[in-house]
Chains A and B, each alone.
Chain A
């Protein structure tokens, strides 16, 4: 469904240029969930934004559903591919009601029957029609993220790009949102690309994952391999050890991988 090969992203010019993504390649089959894991600055979100067409300065080859993608994306592309962002407070317009936020993609794409679709989308994410005329400030963080998911789902896309969808949420709310995403995935046969710094979230949701550091993919492995301790790269092993909670010995043995 998604093929990325030799993706390079640079920001800035000449000497101050930052080479944020270096030669990243991976393939996500239809219906699979692929995870991108890494620490801040590793380039994982930049890869996602390049696939989404939010980042025009890239080189390499990006194919979605077999079609090579250029710098700008067609309206049809956004009917197939939608994105959910990390910050549920920043990704909804503060002065638009939920109804308007959900109706806008339908209006842009000239799809009718807006009222019925908005209500159906709200019910699909477990909010119900009572939320239709609320403003974002009248919603909790978890409810906002549900609205953002409903907005992404309302065009009935095939692919969802998820950028840290639960890292701003409490753990009990995170569990609800992850369950919601897993439910939508099986119901609509969706393909996910999930970016997260949390190895536990990625291993819960994904089939395969790529570990990134300084713009490169350090290691690509299946979640089963991760679970059974078969990660081979020292960087991956250190990331796993550091995710398992505080340990004095592990803290002393930490190394910087450049």
Chain B
């Protein structure tokens, strides 16, 4: 059942909790948002539930985590009603995810080109040669200068920036409708970060892909995304247009912004964030 008028992704009343020996930890509390073919940023500090939200959409929360939601729908298709087998056809094919560190996401004993080709073959039933050509094409699309050499390389032979390009190539090769990028550039140098973002930016513009961009970096999200959710202690405390993030109203968002050092500012003592228990109410 695909509804053309439905938003690409519609999440309503998402809750994730973890049962631990010291009690139940509520990691995500009643989160709702919807996404079209746009770039949505989710910003928050560590422990705010932003990554858990991204994983819950793909049903990647292992026990003892418990996920419940009124709705997690992809173009009108309720993902919670799918079997694990059906869910595997959604992952990669319709929704892809890029994680922070390529070192832990790539198979260390398989050539990276073969890993990309494998991703393509799993989703398209293409032959080996076609998959290989497609993988090489994808490596050039993510601006790798010598795709033949990188195709034959093992993950440890690549720098962080190259590894992340390989990850993005692998995630984009099945042409997903939605990409969930969890801190995809946080481990990278600023110039490499810009190049990776430009690649993702092109994919959103050219393929009409939707993007959920999870990050702790307010300035980056403000400059890269269309719309932003700000999460605090598992809740969305504010939602606004990325261009208006600097004029945000919630005291948490304003506090986060003001405690950032800036090149153009003086050496005054930085304001620190006073957490108000009322934000949790």
Binding site for B on A (CB under 8 A): 39-40, 141, 170-172, 174-176, 178-179, 182, 197-201, 203-205, 226-227, 238-240, 242-248, 250-252, 254
Contact = CB atoms under 8 A, between A and B. Distances in A.
Contacts of A201: 261
A240 B264 CA distance: 11
A171 B194 contact: no
B272 A172 contact: yes
10 closest A-B pairs by CB: A245-B223, A204-B261, A175-B259, A251-B198, A172-B273, A39-B189, A175-B270, A246-B224, A242-B190, A170-B45
Interface of A is mostly: helix
B203 interface: no
Nearest to A172: B273
Interface residues of B, number: 35
B194 A242 contact: yes
Contacts, number: 98
Given A182-B269, A245-B219, A251-B197, A171 B224 contact: no
A45 to B, nearest CB: 14
Contact of A172 (B189, B201, B256): B256
B194 A172 contact: no
Given A172-B259, A175-B259, A254 B191 contact: yes
A182 B222 CA distance: 29
A179 B270 contact: yes
Given A172-B259, A248-B201, 20 more contacts: A39-B192, A170-B45, A172-B273, A174-B259, A175-B259, A175-B270, A175-B272, A179-B272, A197-B190, A198-B261, A203-B261, A203-B263, A204-B270, A238-B191, A242-B193, A244-B219, A246-B223, A246-B224, A247-B223, A251-B201
Contacts of B256: 171-172
A243 B261 CA distance: 12
Contacts of B269: 179, 182
Contacts of A176: 272
20 contacts: A40-B189, A170-B45, A170-B216, A172-B255, A197-B190, A203-B262, A204-B261, A204-B262, A204-B270, A205-B267, A242-B194, A243-B190, A244-B219, A245-B220, A246-B201, A246-B220, A246-B224, A247-B194, A248-B201, A251-B201
Contact of A250 (B194, B265, B272): B194
Interface in B199-252: 201, 216, 218-220, 222-224
B45 A246 contact: no
A124 to B, nearest CB: 17
Contacts of A182: 267, 269
B260 interface: yes
Contact of B189 (A174, A197, A226, A248): A197
Contact of A254 (B45, B194, B201, B262): B194
A242 B191 contact: yes
A245 B256 CA distance: 16
B36 interface: no
Contacts of B81: none
Nearest to B255: A172
Given A204-B265, A204-B267, A171 B259 contact: yes
Nearest to B260: A171
Choose among A174, A242, A244, A251 the residue with the greatest number of B CB atoms under 10 Å from its CB: A251
A174 B37 CA distance: 35
A254 B224 contact: no
